[in-house]
Structure formats: structure tokens, C-alpha cells
A and B are shown apart, each in its own frame.
Chain A
Amino acid sequence: QPVLTQPPSASASLGASVTLTCTLSSGYSNYKVDWYQQRPGKGPRFVMRVGTGGIVGSKGDGIPDRFSVLGSGLNRYLTIKNIQEEDESDYHCGADHGSGSNFVVVFGGGTKLTVL
């Protein structure tokens, strides 16, 4: 099964842009990844799914156009433009592997985004 790696922290100034990275382990370059936003004290919220061709399916409910994704090689990126205070959150990436009783979902360690 894949291993997902995320930097533990990132920061950006209000109104700036930031790109968060989720890296798949070697051999899993064709895997799609889901991005989730988790505001302090809240449950996670689906942002969108990304493959090497970009977004897969639709964004989550209420996710603004400022959020976009790209995929390249083993990396899956989430870019947030014109950062707002409400974007300060933990961002998690996840990927599924296998099927039936061998099905698993793996998550990265999460990136804490601080808005300066």
C-alpha cells in the first residue's frame, strides 16, 4: 500500500498563495489522492480529489474557487490563492488501496497551515 508524505507545517500571508504537497511513495504514481481541510476543533471536510490529470470529480460543498489541485509524478498539490483567515487549518491527504476485505485507506501526517 502507498505511503503519503506531507510537510508538517506551512505558512502564508493573508491574500497570498500557498501550495501544499502530498507525495506518494514510489510505485504509486497513478494513484488519486483526496484532500481534506480540518479547521481547529472541527471534523474534516472534503476539498477535492486529484490525479495526474488534475481534479477528479467535483469539489466538496462550499469549497471556493480559490482552491485548486494539480498532480505530477508522485506529487499531488493543493493550491490556495488569496488566502483568507478561515483557511487556517490542518490539511490532510488520503488514498485508497485494494478492494474487498483487503481494502485500506492511508493518510498523510497532515500539514498545519498558518495564516500570517
Chain B
Amino acid sequence: EVQLVESGGGLVQPGRSLRLSCAASGFTFDDYAMHWVRQAPGKGLEWVSGISWNSGSIGYADSVKGRFTISRDNAKNSLYLQMNSLRAEDTALYYCAKDQGETVAGDFDYWGQGTLVTVSS
């Protein structure tokens, strides 16, 4: 059974940093691209970032480019999102999502339950 478990969310002040993690199991992690997608309270989905199976291809939404960094550790079956210079508008539930292929293709066949990030003073 595919499982994606996010962690690392919490309350953080504007301008500070936070690192999210996603622990994957139930599939061969290094065969697939992975993504972060967020959802602000009461709002729709917003893609944040994606990374190919070997970290050779990485993309970011314009809203986070230069502030967020996606990475993965295939030996630990884990995906990460380093979030710097956080803003109030980054407040959202952050989902880890598995791609259906090894390259970033954007068709997410499995999602986690999310970890909540709240940016507030």
C-alpha cells in the first residue's frame, strides 16, 4: 500500500524558515518523480514544486521561486521542502504527491494527508 506521510509543519513567524519532510513507503521511491502541492484554508490546490527521480529536473511555482528548495534522499525514501523567508500567504496545508512517472509530469496518483504550515507573528 502506497503511503506518504508529511511532517514538519507548525506555526512560524514571517521571515523565518521551516523544513517539511515526506516519508514514502509501499513503492520503489527512486522510480518516481515527487511533488509538493499546497492548499490555503478554504481555497483550491496550488502546485509548489516537483523533482524528478534522480533530482536532475526540478521546477518551482513563481510564488516560491528563490525561497523554497525541494530535495530528496532516495536512500531514505524521503522528500523534503526547505522553506525560507516565509510569508503570511504561504499559510497552507502542504501535501506530498507521487507522480506516475520518473520525470516531472504532473499527474499525481497518490497524495499524503498534509502538514499544516501557519505563518503568523
Chain A interface residues (CB < 8 Å from chain B): 34, 36, 42-46, 49, 57, 60-61, 92, 94-96, 98-110
Contact in complex: A43, B95 (CB < 8 Å): yes
Query: How many inter-chain residue pairs (CB < 8 Å) link A and B?
Result: 70
Task: Please report the C-alpha to C-alpha distance between residue A45 and residue B98 in the assembled complex, in whole angstroms.
Answer: 11
Chain A residues lying within 8 Å of B47, measured Cβ to Cβ, are 94, 104-107
Q: A57-B100, A98-B59, A99-B104 are in contact. List 17 more A-B contacts (CB 8 A).
A: A34-B106, A43-B95, A43-B112, A44-B108, A46-B108, A49-B107, A61-B109, A94-B106, A95-B106, A96-B106, A101-B58, A103-B106, A104-B47, A104-B59, A105-B35, A105-B50, A110-B45
Chain B residues lying within 8 Å of A100, measured Cβ to Cβ, are 57, 59
Given A46-B109, A95-B106; A101-B57 close (CB under 8 Å) = yes
Chain B interface residues (CB < 8 Å from chain A): 35, 37, 44-47, 50, 57-59, 61, 95, 97, 100, 104-114
